[in-house]
Every structure is written in structure tokens, then in C-alpha cells.
Structure 1
């Protein structure tokens, strides 16, 4: 199979979020060619598999490969590489570094020179802490590419309010712009002496050496009757996989009353998963581990203790299990209090820590039925009802699905995907001034979701045009 075929198959696997299948395909393709597209896809794959060092290395190599090729797509790949660096650094808790890379992604999308000394990484105080805030990021739209290709002038033809012409990377600019609010919100919650406040990255990363993969010896064909014995003999011993690689990828969102945590566990089965809710932590057993498929229900690796970011009401909490994730819906003990983080995972069932309350509730009394399945009869104590969250204002939208509640936008898979951007819109919208909020709603609605502006003076007196991604032609409903 040619490298091109392998690369296309790897990209398709990443698109379908089948990262375990994507990795060997991309490894083989990249053994022949350092394609920036394949490197970025493998970077995303490593990130999803929590191989963060490898993910960062591929993103940085993709940046250099794209810059050296100087083709028509080079800038696009460089923009994506800086954004991918930002996402991975965020995962590593290096929030100041993550914001710098997001800003560099914006500057490239604005058409600025790649080697320009913009001083982004120099915005630190006397202690070396990064000084950029969420408010600074919201106001940082002066270089936003112009969505009106007919004129570079602002409302009324005032050249003082002119914005840069279109660059073709408007969607990439918006992606980085919205992402920064999430990064800086996390930075704001850190202690003053936290390492995540320090800037350690450079705009142009050190070029990594191309990875050399050891050639694999062709496997001996094993008779089908001996297959199970052979798999058992080749399986790694329990405890040989580092705990950090075993931990589940988690996303969360919250309302005034509840915190919903999605723990991504492929092939999770409702009949196997056991959950116990405590005041400050949750214990889950029989978790399938993609990083260690040999794990059995009784092994230490099959269980985890999740220390929560706040206190909950165990009797008002519940969970669901689907083939891709375990979802916890936790009722806050103190409604209205915002959690800065969902918590942390520790492999195995650990004893309660000092200061952590242990008031368990049997899983059978709080389990919600699996999604898209018939609800079985429950013979134990009834499910405690969860108070409905106070309704947040719904704003007008051009979407056929109806009005949007910007405080309840969802979450799901990757940081760069739609669900995470929706979460960032929530932070962005809440922190904006009334004029900025009006500008965001007007530009988003009138452009059919393809443009976002926080500059009311720019959009107040004009209709914001629909600007689809490059290569896409907009059509009216009746066409």
C-alpha cells in the first residue's frame, strides 16, 4: 500500500475519531513523507491518546515542514500548527504558553509575517508571570480580517476604523480568538507561583528531528486454535502501563445546579460499570482502558477514583453509559457556585483523603438508564429528582433548530471541534460588554454562523455577509 493511500486512510480514521486505527497508518505514511497534513493528524491522534510529548513534537515539525515547502497551503498549515501547539500546551497545564501560540495563530491568519517580532511572549510582569487577561483577549480584535470584501473602510467610510482586508483565514482567526478565552480563564484561576503562568515557548519552535521508526519483524502466522493463548502470552503485565496513559479523557460543563462530566471510555458496557457517589469524589470500577486492553474487571487498572472540584449531593447525582463514554451528572451541594475544574482522576480505588467526605450512595439507587435503550424496572430506591436549572435567557438565531441558550452550549470530543468552541463562546459572551454582545449576536446571525465580530461600531450599520470556508459556495434555502 502506497504512502499516499496510507495517509488518506489515516486522515479518514482521524476524521472518524478512530485514533487507535489512525496511528499505525499515519506512522507508515510519515515514514515516506513528512506531509504537514499527516503530521497534524498524527499530532491530534497522539493528543487524544494522551501522548502529549509526541503530539507537541509532531505539531512543531508540521510548522517547520509547512514553512520550508512555501506552497500555497503553507500558511494554512502553519496557522493550524500554532493552534495545535496551543491545544496541547493547554492540556499540559502550560496556559501562558498556550495563549501565546493561540495569538500567533491569529497573527498568521491576519496575514502578518511569520518571522515578525511581535513581542507576544514578552508580556510578563517582574515575576515573569504572563499578564494578558480574558478581558484583553476579548478586546483584541483590531486585526480581525475584514468580512466586507468591497471596502476596507469602517462604517461611514472612516478610514480610522478600517480593518485588514480578507485573508481567506477568517474561520481560523475566529477559532483562535474564541479559544483564548478558555485558555486565559484557566490561567486566571492559577496560584501566582504556578508554573503555568510562565512563558517558555518561542514563536518559531526548535525543529524536531524526523522520527525514525524501527522496522517491524513480520509476525509469524499463528493457528486460529492457539490465538487466545498467543494474545495472553504477548499482553503486557498489569501495572506496566503508566497511570497517566490509563487516565480517561474528560470534558465537563456546568449549570447553577449540576456539573456534567463526560469520561470517554470506548466500548464501555452498562452491565459492567459500577459507580458510587460520595460527597467529594466518585468511584468507578470495570472501566475499559484503550491504553491497556488487557485490563480485566478485577484488576486495579479497571477502577478509578475521581476527586471532584466541589461538593455534591450523592443522592441527587446519576450516571449514564454509552459505547463511547460514561457521563456523570452531579448535583451541586451549593447551587450557583461555579467550579473552576471538574477534578482529577486517580487510578485504582483509593481511600478517602484528608478533608474529603465519604458518604456513599449505592450506584443502583441513582443510575439513569443507558441512552437509546429501554428503561428497565428499578426495584431499589427511586431515583432522586434533580432540580431543573434556572432558565437562562435565549437569544434569537437563524438556526432551523430554534433559539440558542448561550449558557448551555454542549461539550464532546476534541478541543478544536464545534462543541469546545461553543463552550468558549459562553465564556466570551459572558465577559463581553453590552455593545460587544450585540455585535456578536448580529454578526453571527446575519452571516449564518460564518462570522463573529465584537466591534459594534463596525457591524451596527451594515449587514454582515455570509463568508463560508474556502472552497464552499453558499446557497439560499430554495436553491
Structure 2
């Protein structure tokens, strides 16, 4: 029987693989089983945002906030709900309400640098729609009538590049989480990356006027923003997040991590997660490759086989092996002492070859 927690974990997997339709289906099932969990609603809100269903995203954020309203111990969840609400309002072009929500969230969680990004975006949009001050009006006089004319202010938000058109993947090593965002021919000055202890925001302004945004909050584990960095290549943007706990294996990139292990030892079952649907056990694969590389070949393989057989044999078998191999000049190997002890073992070269005596 399916449980709310089980559906939620499967939904997270689908979300991280960018399968937002499947994630939405599974979040729906989790919420049907447990409608009192604010985290479930917040993740569904984030999924609605990815699917550009901003009204539904706003509704879930408000429901999540109402579940924890009045509970002082749920301050972090309140802040996250207000952040999600602000993002939904921003996408609906209700910039003033979005700003109010972001500022309220910042009061509850002043260290969340992701809010700095969204506040900056919101203030930029508010400036676009603010009426221009009347400094020097143009006038036309007809008799005693004076008419002042002013220019209309521009309005509207910048368009957003469809999330489904941009692919991002991630992998990890002992020290870093590496995220690759595959957008071609991006100029470095158009890329903004903001990092906090548990979040990262990437915004890309495109030549068309559109804007791509990737928001990861909360990350599965803490990072060290000062030692993290990003690079812009011709085919992608690469963000390298320095792990706060070096050697810890992340089971997921965002959200609750129940698969935490260690890299380079510890759990002994290293499996690097990524955006691929089927995980690979890289630790087992590495060991297998090492074994293959260490296998001897040719004459070395033959000697290794001989040594193994000799090591495990009894005294009669060892005598048979030594006598047959030596007397036949290496062309015959027998383990039957009863047969070998009856006389000299003749040299038997492979078919098509002739045995010749070696003259030193």
C-alpha cells in the first residue's frame, strides 16, 4: 500500500529528473494521503511553477503558510512558503505583492541570499512600471489654455525561456557538486549566480530579451559559497558548489536527502546520483575495471595459472607438474604422477611447429 512519504520521495526523484508531469502526479497522491504536510504543498507549488501554472503554485504556497501560521517553531517553513508565494506572484506580474512577500520572508530568514536575488528582480520590474516624474512638461498655448503632455511609462515583465527547453544535469566528486546548464553561446556578463549555504540561483539574460532562471532551494546539504564558483563555456554554464562536508555523498541535489553516504570509503556502496533516470554503482564499476586492468596476459597469465595450480596441489601433483613441464620443455603440463613417473615426458610442440634444441 502506498504511503504519503513513499509517494513524496518518488515525486522528488521525478522532479530532480525534470519529469515535472510525473512529479505533479505523485505529489498529488502524497497530498491526498496527507494534506497536513506543508512541505508536500511547497514542493507541489515548485512543480506548478516549473509547469508555468502560477495560479496553482500561488494557491499551494498560501495553503502551506496557513498550515504553519501561528506556530513559532515552524519559522523556516513559513519563510519558504512566503518565498514560494512571492515567486508565484512575480510570475503573475503582481510585483508589489511579490516584494511584500519576499520582505516578510526575509524577516523570518534574513540569511537566505536567494531572497536577495528575487528582491532585486522585483525591484527591477517595479522600476519599469513606475510612472516617470514630470520634470519639464511640454506645453502648447492657445489663448489662456495651457496643456501639459507627459510620456507613458513602459510596462510588462521580461519573457522567460521555457524550462523544458533547457537541460541541466549534475554529478559530484569528493569536494564538489557540479551542475551543468546547457545553454549555448551565453556571454558571461549576462549570467548572475547567487549562492547561499543551502541554495543557489542562476539567472541568464538572453539576447532575445528572455530570461532563464534555475532556483535550487533548499539544497540537500550545505555548501561553502566562498569556495564555490562558476564558468561560462560556449555550450554550457558550469556551476561548481564546494561541499561544506568534504567526502559526503549527496543522494539528491535538492530537498531532503535520505541516501547520504561517503565518497572514497565509509558505506562501501558508492553510487553517484545524477539527473539520469538509472543510477550506476560507480564504486562497483571502478573495482571491476581495476580487476580487469590487473589481469595478466600472455606468458604472464600462463605463469600465474601454473603458480595457482601448484600452490593448491598436493605433493604428488606438484612433482608431476614439475617433471612434465621441465622434461617437455614447457610443452606439456600433467598433474598425474602415476603416469608421469613411468618415464621421461617427451616434448610435444603445438601442431604445425617443430621442436629444436637450443644451442648456447
Common fold: TM-score over 0.5: no
Q: Aligning the two structures, in what range does the TM-score lie when normalised by the shorter sequence?
A: 0.3 to 0.5
Q: Which structure carries more strand by proportion?
A: 2
Higher RCO (Cα < 8 Å, 6 or more apart): 1
Q: Name the TM-score, length of structure 1 as normaliser.
A: 0.32
